[in-house]
Structure 1
Amino acid sequence: MVNNSGNGKGNTIDVDPKAGEKVVINKSGNGKGNTIDVAPDAGGTVYVNASGNGKGNKIVIEEAPGEHVVIRGSGNGKNNNIVIEKVPGPTQQKPLAAIANKGATATFNHQVASSSQHASVPHGSRR
Structure 2
Amino acid sequence: MKTIGILNGPNLDRLGKREPEIYGATTLAQLEERLRAEFDGAARLEFFQSNHEGALIDRIAALADAKADGLVVNFGALTHTSVGLRDALLGAHLPTVEVHISNIYKREEFRHKSLTAPACVGMVTGLGLEGYFAALRFLLKQ
Q: Quick check: TM above 0.5?
A: no
Report the TM-score, using the length of structure 2 for normalisation.
0.37
Q: Which structure shows the bigger proportion of residues in strand conformation?
A: 1
Relative contact order, higher structure (CA 8 A, sep 6+) = 2
Q: Which structure shows the bigger proportion of residues in helix conformation?
A: 2
Report the TM-score, using the length of structure 1 for normalisation.
0.40
